[in-house]
Amino acid sequence: MHALPIAVVDDRRFDRHRSEEQHPERPERLVAARAGLASALPPAEQVEVLVRAVSEEEAERVHSSEYLARLQRMLRTGWGHIDADTYFCPETEEAAWLAAGGAVELSRALLHGPARRGIALLRPPGHHACPSKAMGFCLLNNIAIAAADSLAQGAIRVAIVDWDVHHGNGTQDIFYEEKRVLYVSLHQSPFYPGTGAPEEVGAPGAEGTNVNIAMPPRTGPPAYGEAFRTIVLPVLDAFEADLVLVSAGLDAHFRDPLAQLELDADCFGAMTTALARHVDGLGHGRLGLFLEGGYDLEAIEDSIAAMLKALQGEELELPTGPLRPVEQEALLRTTQTVGCLRS
């Protein structure tokens, strides 16, 4: 089988966003991600996507102009913190605007060619960034800006699957009233940022387009496999998005120092295979992975390699196995809210 070309967004200027103190969200994360990319994807099969700064018009589709102006003023003061977790340095503004612009360019490369599969190795991450607030290491919501741009580019419906271990509260907020964007999150609960209950299903008029699967600590691969088979894939099948974007954080990996879930690299590969089959089944094959969190370097390298092999067509099956009662309950809570909406 001939390997599929993969669109790749990467830029050394993302590495210049750094903290003065020790911080888990550090440039070495991208070095590890690049090592995973290089081991799985020969240069000849990479389609380089040119990275440029996000425009005001693109960013304002999801963030308030007041917030963007306030953020820029703050970032131009040098070194500092926006909140206890979220730092900035003199190069942060450039990196953040390039990361969001790179996200837009990846989604356009998938929509219009030259590739149908892609990955964006972005820093700073984005899924906690709200319409008017930076938080959780995130300044601009890269994937939300890309999804909003896809709608502006003519996509009828866009789906975002978020398997970062934290709930993507920013992405949920941004699209809570938008029925053309499906947001499906699998995350540890209770956990930062405290949002992401299954009962959060979307605003009136958009009910069912926000799906939260709140996993208890120590959840492992079989529960993620079951969540994909019984919730994620059926919901995606019903929605029929023109492209599927993934907040592909790697902090649900068992090695991650910040969280307590127990996924492994093969599980990230298998979830990628499942989504690749889904988009192929829709006939368009458009699937983009966007790096969010993930703080163990070995976990990042191994998981990125597994996801890239899956993007290229190497198939891994979703994990199976017994579920703990707390895992079964977690899936049932979401199944019930999704079921209510359908009946």
The residues that touch Zn ion, with contacts defined as CB under 5 A, are 164, 166, 249, 251, 293
Contact 210, 231 (CB under 8 A): no
Residue type, 199: E
- The residue number whose beta carbon is nearest to Zn ion equals 293
Give the residue with the Cβ less far from Zn ion, 221 or 293: 293
CA distance 39 to 50: 22
CA distance 226 to 153: 34
Give the residue with the Cβ less far from Zn ion, 105 or 251: 251
Give the residue with the Cβ less far from Zn ion, 63 or 166: 166
CA distance 340 to 343: 5
Closest CA relative to residue 272, chosen from 311, 244, 222: 311
Closest CA relative to residue 172, chosen from 149, 202, 151: 202
- Which of 17, 128, 253, 278 is catalytic? The answer is 128
Give the residue with the Cβ less far from Zn ion, 26 or 179: 26
Least distance (Å) between residue 188 CB and Zn ion = 9
Least distance (Å) between residue 251 CB and Zn ion = 4
Contact 263, 191 (CB under 8 A): no
Residue type, 126: G
Least distance (Å) between residue 29 CB and Zn ion = 12
Least distance (Å) between residue 80 CB and Zn ion = 22
Contact 233, 281 (CB under 8 A): no
Instruction: Please confirm, yes or no, whether 128 is among the known catalytic residues.
Output: yes
Active site amino acids? 128
